[in-house]
Every structure is written in structure tokens, then in C-alpha cells.
Structure 1
Amino acid sequence: GCPAACNGDRACCFDAEVGGDEFREAFTAARAQLETANANSVGFNENTPPTFEEGTAILRYNDTAVNNASTYGNRSEDQELARYVATDTDRVTALDCDVCRNDSGFTCEVTGLNTTRATLAIRGRAPNASGAFTCNATDAHAAVSTAATVIVARSIAPEIDLAVPTEPATPEPSGARDEGGADNDDDDHALSAAVVAGILLGALAVATLAGGLVYLVLVRRRRRRAQPLALDAAADDAPEPRGERSAAMSPDSSPERRVRTAVDVDDGATSDGSEREERFDAI
């Protein structure tokens, strides 16, 4: 049978039947350790760190207001400058800030520890801290959340009105202002049209001048090319001298005949009779 120490557990009964009391005691001790570990374990989704539902990102305070009691009244009590509220599904075991542990002039008041909601209030009447600090919230499973805060001190000075009073300007009649504006618009449009027309006329004149220059260059080139051709044609059409043509056409145009005739002509210039004789002999 199964020992009473197994409490009806089939695995314990099997170990006791096979190994006796030694196996049963080992099984009972291991089962107790497993139950203790399960009781102390935390689920993945259950071990989330605390959440800051409320916090102060920028801590502002007026240093003149907290120190000048004669102007702003007697403030013997510290004023609350910042507040932090941390929550957790299990409980918040600790909530503190850096400025609460140093000589910064701030005082911290914490309430609601070891509950699901804890609050920390920072107070100060004449703080001397500057820069930034952090606040930490810790839960029962040592999960930590952090919030950061920047300290900004502002000095309040009395406002002085430096504005110089001036006389109110006399309003212009709406009709006159409208007409004047319309006239100015018309003048601007007319001036713009005149400028555009002048630019177009200037461009047209430049284009005409350029075309004339190109035409003159082309005409000169054509004339230079035509002059040698005209000279050659004139040389071909010019009439030959009469004496040269007759000499060329004469049957007796040999060099000797031409020389003799020239001599006879020169000699015949002395008298008429001799000229005739010489011409006769030549014939």
C-alpha cells in the first residue's frame, strides 16, 4: 500500500513502493522545494517597474519671491515646488530624489510607502540648488523607475513702463486714401508698361542693326568675287589693233617682210619720189 506520508500522490507512492522510505523522503523534500520556489517566483508581466503618474519636468521658483519677505510677505513655511506620484501593481517600497539627500535647501516629504501609490513633495523657501536631479521609485521586486527634473530660478524685478505717450494720429478719410492708392497703382502700371516698351524697342533696334551689318558684309564679298570675272571678260571682248590684225592676216607676214617694210617707211620720209620708188621696189 501507499504510505500515509505521500498524501495520495501517485508519484510518491511509486517511489515508496520501488525504493522504500528512502526514495519517499527524497521525493517529499524535492516537492517541498518546488512549492517554495513557485511561491517566490514572479511572472514576466507582473515584474513591471513602478510608474510615475505625476512628475515635474522643470522646477521653477522665484528666488526674489522666496527671499524678500518685506515685499512678498512673511513666508515662514516652505512652499511646495514639485510633486511626484509613483504607482505599482504590487507596492512601492521606496521613493526619493537626489536633492533630498544633499545640502540643496530643499526638503522632501514622502507618503504612501509600501502601498500601490506613493507621493513625494519637494518644498523649499530659499533653495540654493541648480542644474538637474533625478527621482527614483522602487517596488517590492527591486524594479526601479527614474524621473529627471531641471531646476530653473527666476528673478522677479519690478516692471517699469518706459513707453513715451504720443498723440493719436489723425485718421485720413477713407475715400481720399482709396483714391490716392488707386492713382498710385495706375502710375505704377503705366511706368511698368513704358519700361517694357522701351526694352522691346531697344531689342528691335539692335536686331535691325545686326541684320544691316550682315547684309553689307555679304554684298562686299559678292563684289570681290565678281571683279576678277569682269576683268577677264573685258579682256576677251577688247578689239585688237588694226595694224597687228592686218599683219596677222597678210600672206606675207614673215619677219623679214615686216622688217623691210618698216625700213622702207623710215627711209621714205625724206622725199615723195624716193618713197614711191622704194614702195615700188618692195612690191
Structure 2
Amino acid sequence: MLETATDAVVESFRETKDRRLRQVVESLTRHLHDFVRDIEPTMQEWESAIGFLTAVGHTCDDTRQEFVLLSDVLGVSMLVETLNGSVEGTESTVLGPFHMTESPRRELGDAIDLLGTGRPCVVSGRVSAADGTPLPYTELDVWQCSEDGFYDVQQPDVQPPGNGRGLFHTDGEGRYWFRTVVPSHYPIPTDGPVGRLLDATGRHPYRPAHVHFIANAEHHRPVTTHAFVAGSPYVDSDAVFAVKRGLITDFTESYDARDAERFGVTVPFTHAEFDIVLAPEAETKQ
């Protein structure tokens, strides 16, 4: 009888004209039914599950995406990223729940830190194709938390809108640079249903320090990635499973006066080099 119920639901989608949609709903039905048979939930447990998902939806707003957060902590976001990642370019990571506002356009060398309270940090690098050819005028969307571990949307009374964010374009040689502060490790939001899930399962909510990037160049596959701060707490136990060893980046102390003058900062300052490689648009996923 239980197997018959699954077959009946799958059959109900038989007339779906979109072949991909039919594949998705049929597979979802079979896996979801197998999951229910496996755990055999009581009616009270199933109602609690529906209530949890309802609460996740109610927690979403214009600056917070609790469903993305749920996907992140279950490792689904990283699984999707890995399945769609390039075998030639820079490794991809999660988008995260805080890419909810548009980054302000900035010129190369501008500061994305509008608070001016920490030691200056310069992040620079080059964007290139898989064959090493520089990619001039690549669009770079950058965002990060403050040195205290908060994004601008979390502290609207403390941080001005757009703090820690910038939309840049590389120069004619594919290079970029901007001024900021070294971000802190931080907890993902724990005041909602996802936070309660972590608490109930004994998991910590922390992410290691990082800077987000989305690089987008014509005729190349865009990449969403992070530069993780080497030595940051939780770099070995990221709550959203996004750390990849190749993305761990040294943020080093520099006393180079010539570099400081070139970047518009004073010594000592922190410097991180993070290069990005984009795969060709026509690449076939392996």
C-alpha cells in the first residue's frame, strides 16, 4: 500500500511537459517518501516539521534569507556549488545569507570600510582565464563583515548602508585592489529557527573570517567564492562547510612604505593577495 501511494503520486506528474521539472518532482517524491518510511514520524513530529519550515519562511525578509541559511548549515549549498563548480577555475563556495543588498559601485583603491576603526587592510589580486590570460574589466562584487563580526544589514544603527561592500571592475591588466579591514570570524544568525536547530543538535554556529567575491567576465563562467583568513578560528569547522584549502589566504603584516603609498594607506598595514581564475563559458560540467 505504501509503495502504491508513491507510485500513484509519481504517476500524477506523467503529463508534465517540462522534462526537467518532471524529473525533479518524480525524484523528490520518491526520496521524500523513502525518508518518511525510514523515520516513521508521528503526526505530532510531522506537524512540528511543517511548523519549523513555516517559521523559516516567516524569518525571511529583504535583508535576511533563512532558507539560504538552512541550506548552508545542512551542507546542501556547498554540495550544489561543488556539483556546479569548474574544474579549471577558482573553487566556488556558498553565496551565504547576507548577499541581500546591492553593493555600491566603487573605484579601484576605494575603501569598503566606512567605519575607519581598525588597522588598514589591502586586498589585491588579478583575475585571469584558465590559460593565464588576464581578464580586464571583470566585474567583482565584494562583501564582508566588520572587524567585530557583523554585516551592515545586521547593525543598521551602527554601520552605514553599504559598509563592507563594493562593486569593482578590474583594470586593463585584470588587476584589482581595495582597502578594508580584516574581517572577524562570526556566528551565523542564531535568533531564528536555524539557530534553534543548531542548538538542539549541539552544533556551534561560527564561520571563519572571510571576504566574499563574485567574479563575472564576458565569455567566462562566473564564480562565487571566499578568501578565508589563514589562522582564523573555525577554519577547520565552518558551520556551513564552505572552507576549501585552496582558498585559505595569508593576511600578512606589511611595513613596505612604497606599497603603502601605492595603496593609499600607512604602515604597518595588512595585505592579502587573492587571485581568481575563471573557466570558459563553454566548459562542460564533469
For the criterion TM > 0.5, the same-fold answer is: no
The structure that has the greater radius of gyration is 1
Higher RCO structure (Cα 8 Å, ≥6 apart): 2
**Could you say which TM-score interval applies, normalised by the shorter chain?**
under 0.3
Q: TM-score, normalised by structure 2?
A: 0.21
Q: Which has the higher helix share?
A: 1
